[in-house]
């Protein structure tokens, strides 16, 4: 397996797990790592929340050594808060710090963070420069194609970020206006790759081993990032790795593998967060694993009532019995 370097951090050139709020928590990341994910990025961490010592925010920062290489991802709209937060993140031992400049959801972009920075290049560059100067690990940024179809500026943003010391840039080939609809544009990622001398990570519509290879081939990117296609299917990282190495398409996971992973993820989440919080989040996570199985609609409905780890185990046993 070939590798790339972001600063001094070595990453295998297969597929990374994209940062996804309320999905890519520690438990899920570990499951994906076990299946071959090459690189992890945390859920978004609020710069202000961290500066004000919000307990929930600090939980997002915990790094498990089994996940490395690993980045903690900040979001914020003020350079001074982002720099101070980055310093605080260093106490958690990240390999890389990533800055979110691509999240399109209203509660983030509406406050001037995330993809709102695509409309304010100077602010984006000031934030990036402040964070780069605040820490001694590589700093990366995740951006979008632009704000909308009339302001495609990923190349401009990427070049400016490189100029202030950003070590790599991840590019989602959709605009903020598109959210997660329509098609991701590999052409934008290709343009960014041609314009900068730092590693470029391609993101958007990578939902199969073939799509991962196509993104590498069409864009020349240094690493591919997978997000929503991994929901309930962490084995996609194993399939991508095998396909890139040998050209072989591995079979999908068996029902038993899916149920085992569902239970294991719930167990990990409980060990990290406690049963109450873990189960509130597991209702969605468990449902992902059941997509497409016999009786899926009924079982997924049952997921909304999960209140304990035993509930998850009983559901898995029932599915096995009725399979």
* Backbone φ, ψ for residue 145 (5° rounding): -60, -35
Q: Are strands 15-17 and 9-12 parallel, antiparallel or unpaired?
A: unpaired
**Cβ-based neighbour number of residue 197 at 10 Å:** 7
Q: Which regions of the chain does DSSP assign to beta strands (E)? A: 3-6, 9-12, 15-17, 40-46, 70-75, 96-101, 139-146, 168-175, 200-203, 223-226
Q: Which of 103, 221, 286, 303 is catalytic?
A: 103
> CA-CA distance, 223 to 79, in Å (whole number)?
28
- Are 1 and 192 in contact, with CB atoms under 8 Å apart? no
- Are 14 and 36 in contact, with CB atoms under 8 Å apart? yes
- Are 4 and 23 in contact, with CB atoms under 8 Å apart? no
103 is catalytic: yes
Q: Are strands 168-175 and 70-75 parallel, antiparallel or unpaired?
A: unpaired
- Are 129 and 122 in contact, with CB atoms under 8 Å apart? no
- Among 235, 178, 182, 228, which Cα is nearest to 203's? 228
> CA-CA distance, 183 to 175, in Å (whole number)?
10
DSSP string for 102-138: ----HHHHTTT-GGGGGG-HHHHHHHHHHHHHH-SS-
Residues labelled catalytic: 103
């Amino acid at each position: 397996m070939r590798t790339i370097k972001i600063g001094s951090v070595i990453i295998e050139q297969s597929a990374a797990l994209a940062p996804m709020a309320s999905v890519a928590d520690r438990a899920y990341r570990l499951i994906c790592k076990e299946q071959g994910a090459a690189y992890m990025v945390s859920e978004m961490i609020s710069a202000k929340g961290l500066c004000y010592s919000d307990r929930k925010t600090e939980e997002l920062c915990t790094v498990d050594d089994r996940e490395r290489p690993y980045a903690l991802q900040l979001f914020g709209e003020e350079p001074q808060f982002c720099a101070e937060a980055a310093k605080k993140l260093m106490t958690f031992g990240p390999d890389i710090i990533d800055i979110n400049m691509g999240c399109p959801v209203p509660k983030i972009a509406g406050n001037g963070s995330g993809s709102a920075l695509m409309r304010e290049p100077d602010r984006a560059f000031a934030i990036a420069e402040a964070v780069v100067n605040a820490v001694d690990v590589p700093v990366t940024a995740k951006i979008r194609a632009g704000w909308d179809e009339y302001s495609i500026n990923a190349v401009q943003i990427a070049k400016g970020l490189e100029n202030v010391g950003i070590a790599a840039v991840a590019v989602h080939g959709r605009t903020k206006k598109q959210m997660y609809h329509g098609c991701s544009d590999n052409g934008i990622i290709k343009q960014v790759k041609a314009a900068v001398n730092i590693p470029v990570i391609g993101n958007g519509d990578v939902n199969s081993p073939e799509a991962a290879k196509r993104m590498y081939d069409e864009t020349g990117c240094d690493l591919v990032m997978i997000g929503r296609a991994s929901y309930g299917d962490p084995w996609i990282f194993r399939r991508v790795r095998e396909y890139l190495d040998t050209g072989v398409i591995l079979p999908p996971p068996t029902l038993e593998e899916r149920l085992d992973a569902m239970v294991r993820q719930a167990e990990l989440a409980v060990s990290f967060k406690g049963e109450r919080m873990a189960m509130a989040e597991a209702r969605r996570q468990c449902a992902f694993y059941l997509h497409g199985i016999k009786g899926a609609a009924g079982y997924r409905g049952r997921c909304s009532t999960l209140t304990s780890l035993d509930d998850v185990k009983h559901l898995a046993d029932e599915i096995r019995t009725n399979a």
